[in-house]
Amino acid sequence: MTTATPTRALMEGSEALVRAAILADCKFFAGYPMTPFTEVLEHFAALLPDVGGVCINAESELEAVGMAWGAVATGERAATGSTGQGIALMQESFSEATLAELPLVIFNMSRSQGDYFQATRGGGHGDYRHLVLAPQDVREGVRLVQLAFHLADKWRNPVMLYGDYLLAHTQEAVTVEKVDLPPLPPKDWGVDGTTSGTGRSRTVTSLGVAKPGARPFGQEGKAQYIATKMAYLEREVRSESGYCDDAETVIVAFGSPAKFVKYAIAQLRDEGLRVGYVRPITLWPFPTEAVHAAAQGARVVGSFEISSGQMVDDVRIAVAGAAPVEFIGGVSSDHSGFGLGRLLDVDEVRERIRALHEGRPQPPVPGYEEFAYEPLPHQLAATPEVTP
């Protein structure tokens, strides 16, 4: 349920996401410009001051995540973001923020879907997980941004919004309205200076140390505490399925490409082909049960991603041998390397799904013929066993 509907307007995805964040009471944002994330930063800079918030164009991604860490540690809702390369620079701080239980929201406007491993596994240290939400379009993004802030506070855990060039740059007629979410308790952990000198001062740390009167975890205890928290985070799994009741072929796809897949499947259904889909809305936790259930009775399951195949690993784990799993996507970007390429076309997507359904080889990915790797003779020779 939502509140009264404001005016519907045509706006760029980046602006809609930022307006949704402001509706969620985000008061601080820091980032460094990098396409296709730059417009998110620009809209935060333009709109946050009007609501008493602060946006900082930092010197680099390292400073940006540090500033956001400081802001969110006070108990305010805060966020940062970048694209995959910039997100990579923030990984140490992301893992530390998770271990310190900081509800940081991260906007990742990726350049393709090749950041799936990065988003769902992370590149930081220790045992940690982020909740990862992947909207299929701007309208859903407006809702999931607000959910991201809610889930971050609910679990005191970072949440990533995984977008892409299309989500950031597509103009869409949207209504940016506030989502009605359950109330959350006050942030009595926030280091906001109000308890200084009272003997009840607070600290936010990943190390397990504590102020006098607070529970001391110790380094090992804090690691165990975070590890046992993950099972509760896994309850936040979300997905969408369609046409799976009688599907002989099931396609798993997420984000912007999933919308193309769903349209292509609707066309194939009109032709009488029994094809269904599962769309992960949370990339972590992955909707393992939904994918497994859809695979029951299917002849084959396909993973469509704009990458060399990353989510396909989770699809295979979820299917657990109920049906063969094939990767039917591929690397595909425009000439700048920022946008999505020729593979993301409904005709291309439809023919790849049809080939999988009919048991034929996949059509070539546009561009693969020209830029295919050609191994040298010494690379083709077998490497001998090395015995102890």
Per-residue pLDDT reduced to its tens digit, 138-191: 999 999 999 999 999 999 999 999 999 999 999 999 999 999 999 999 998 888
pLDDT grade for 213, boundaries at 50, 70 and 90: low
Q: Name the band, by pLDDT with cuts 50, 70 and 90, for residue 369.
A: confident
pLDDT band at 95 (very low <50, low <70, confident <90, very high): very high
Structure tokens at 283: 């990339």
Q: Please indicate whether residue 219 or residue 183 has the higher confidence score (pLDDT).
A: 183
Across the range 254-260, mean pLDDT stands at 97
Segment 278-317, tens digit of pLDDT = 999 999 999 999 999 999 999 999 999 999 999 999 999 9
The mean pLDDT value for 367-373 works out to: 84
Determine the pLDDT at residue 2: 46
Residue entry with tokens 């609707």: 266
> What is the structure's pLDDT at 3?
45
Strands 171-174 and 9-12, how do they pair?
A: antiparallel
How large a percentage of the chain has pLDDT more than 90?
80
Beta strand segments in the chain, E:
9-12, 26-31, 54-57, 77-82, 105-110, 131-133, 159-164, 171-174, 239-242, 249-252, 275-280, 282-284, 300-303, 325-327
CATH topology of domain 240-368: Rossmann fold (3.40.50)
Dihedral sign for Cα 309, 315, 317, 319, please: negative
Asked whether residue 4 carries a pLDDT value surpassing 70, the answer given is no
CATH 3.40.50.970 fits 9-174, yes or no: yes
Give the per-residue pLDDT at 143. Answer: 98
Q: What mean pLDDT do residues 261-284 have?
A: 98
pLDDT of residue 259: 97
Residue type present at position 373: Y
Looking at 184-253, list the stretches that DSSP marks H as alpha helix, in order from N- to C-terminal side.
218-233
Give the residue range(s) of CATH 3.40.50.970 domains in the chain: 9-174
Higher confidence at residue 305 or residue 197?
A: 305
For the chain, give every residue range classified as CATH 3.40.50.920. 240-368
Q: In this model, does residue 1 exceed pLDDT 60?
A: no
Q: What is the mean pLDDT of the chain?
A: 93
